[in-house]
Amino acid sequence: MPRIILSINAGSSSVKVSVYEANGNSDTPNQLAEAQVEGLTAPPTKLKYERGDQKVKGKELDDINTQEDAFRYILDYLTKDNGLPQLNHKEDIKFTCHRVVHGGDYPKAQIIDENTYHHIATLSDLAPLHNAPALSIIRAVTSILPNAKNIAYFDSSFHASMPPHIKTYPIDQKVASHNQLRKYGFHGISYSFITHAVSIYLQKPASELNIIALHLGSGASACAIQGGKSLDTSMGLTPLAGLPGATRSGSIDPSLMFHFTHEAGMPSRSSTKEMHITTAEEILNKKSGWKALTGTTDFGAISASQDPECQLAFDIFCDRVLNYVGSYYVKLGGEVDALVFAGGIGERGARLRKEVVGRVECLGFRIDEGANEKPGEGVVVDVGAQEARHHTLVCRTDEQLEMARGVVEEAERFSKK
């Protein structure tokens, strides 16, 4: 009998849930449906749904404010869809995969039992927009689908390969080691998908593939991938470091906060029993980025606007992205197969791609304007000019599929306990 897998991706501005059917002898899960609630940081939230030819796009929703609300809404929607009889019996859902952003030192996916749950909870302060919402969904699944086995996939695992001189911060090493203060890096489930997809597209084994990958969504990061493994990435101990995002400042001078407010070190009023953050962390994670600069977190609207604040936000993003493309190109010794754009902004932001690629022409990249404006169908699409030295690709990343594939691949390990 086919097994049903529910794959849940709780991002900072969206929740995406895909339903798969996996047959015993095939290693590729077959997608039955995909539902997405987006706009959690820019209400009204909207539903996108796809099952075969059946499509719903942009249905506005009321009273959906958190990732848990979004998940409960989606599960209800899926189970009420008459065209999805596979979900009529909740007990048929054998596995649920959960994207958990901060997994500390976990090098691979884990079955969620009491120990893993508590370990993920202890990391909540280090991913204030992510771990607690993911745990709220895990709790909901445990009560609604008691028969499903919950597996956590960590955004940080892909970066376990970063060498010590890249993951170590130059601070007192006793404190660093005691408090586990190092660079972890995130968006790893997406980078793993991208590596696999680009390796197939370029017909080059992943172990020989060098790419500069940009996952640009509500949270944005860059990754230098060498021989299919993470060499460096822009996020750090927390997803705040590196590129700016919808509500995040990205990297700033660490002293800035003490000049911004005298209350920087005080507990934030939005701290909860599960998650403690300081006022500084609250400001830099939730009240900065595109929201602070322009009043909206919708980068599509920012890119289309002529307002000076939007133009400034756009220019800042291009500038910070360039910092990483340039330095990762050097770290990879110029041996780069492709520059890859992914995530909501990377996949849909033609203007941003054009601007960034235009600025790195000196490195051998060049955009094909027609292909860039309207990238064709497919998981990976070339938007670079034919004569360019390196490819410029758009990859429609799919974190849910990456997790579901992992479950099928490791079904034996996950079925044991």
Ligand X SMILES: CC(=O)OP(=O)(O)O
Ligand Y SMILES: Nc1ncnc2c1ncn2[C@@H]1O[C@H](COP(=O)(O)OP(=O)(O)O)[C@@H](O)[C@H]1O
Which chain residues interact with ligand X by CB under 6 A? 11-12, 101, 155, 186-187, 217-219, 239
DSSP per-residue string spanning 194-245: HHHHHHHHHT--GGG--EEEEEESSSEEEEEEETTEEEEES--SSTTSSS--
CA distance 112 to 135: 10
Pick the closest to residue 98 from 128, 133, 124, 54 (CA basis).
Answer: 133
Q: Which does 298 bind (CB under 5 to 8 A by kind): ligand X, ligand Y, Mg ion, none?
A: ligand Y
Separation CA 259–CA 170 (nearest Å): 23
Would you say 383 or 411 has its CB closer to ligand Y?
383
Which region, left, alpha or beta, applies to residue 310 given φ > 0 means left and ψ of -120 to 50 means alpha? alpha
Q: Which is nearer to ligand X, 187 or 366 (CB)?
A: 187
Q: Can you tell me the distance from the alpha carbon of 342 to that of 190, in angstroms, rounded to the nearest whole number?
A: 8
Question: Among residues 155, 232, 382, 398, which one is catalytic?
Answer: 155
Find the shortest distance in angstroms from Cβ 412 to ligand Y: 31
Report, in Å, the least distance between residue 248 CB and Mg ion: 13
Tell whether 99 is in a known binding site: yes
Q: Give the Cα separation of 240 and 252 in Å (integer).
A: 10
Is 131 annotated among the ligand-binding residues? Answer: no
- In the complex, least distance from residue 356 CB atom to ligand Y, rounded to whole angstroms: 13
Which runs of consecutive H residues, i.e. helices, occur in 123-179?
131-144, 164-167, 173-178
Secondary structure (3-state) at 297: coil
CB of 214 to ligand Y, least distance (A): 11
210-249 positions binding ligand Y, by CB under 6 A: 217-219, 246
Token duo for residue 415 = 């079925």
Q: Does 39 bind Mg ion (CB under 5 A)?
A: no
Residue 298 binding ligand Y, by CB under 6 A: yes
Residue with tokens 């607690």: 132
φ/ψ (deg, to 5) at 59: -70, 120
Active site residue 155: yes
Residue window 330-369: x/- pattern of binding to ligand Y, with contact defined by CB under 6 A? -------------xxx--xx--------------------
Find out whether the peptide bond into 44 is cis, omega within 30 degrees of 0: yes
293 contact choice in Mg ion, ligand Y, ligand X, none (CB below 5 to 8 Å, kind-dependent): none
The first and second tokens of residue 354, run together, are: 């054009």
Contact 183, 131 (CB under 8 A): no
Q: Of ligand Y, ligand X, Mg ion, none, which one does residue 101 interact with (CB within 5 to 8 Å by kind)?
A: ligand X
Q: Which is nearer to ligand Y, 13 or 136 (CB)?
A: 13
| Candidate residues 217, 228, 346, 406; the one interacting with Mg ion per rule CB under 5 A | 217
Q: Is 217 within any annotated ligand binding site?
A: yes
Q: Should residue 11 be labelled a site residue for Mg ion when binding is judged by CB under 5 A?
A: yes
* Binding-site partner at residue 34 among ligand X, Mg ion, ligand Y, none, CB < 5 to 8 Å by type: none
Taking the complex as a whole, how short is the minimal distance between the CB of residue 256 and ligand Y, in angstroms? 24
Q: Which does 155 bind (CB under 5 to 8 A by kind): ligand X, ligand Y, Mg ion, none?
A: ligand X
Binding site for ATP: which residues? Answer: 16, 215-219
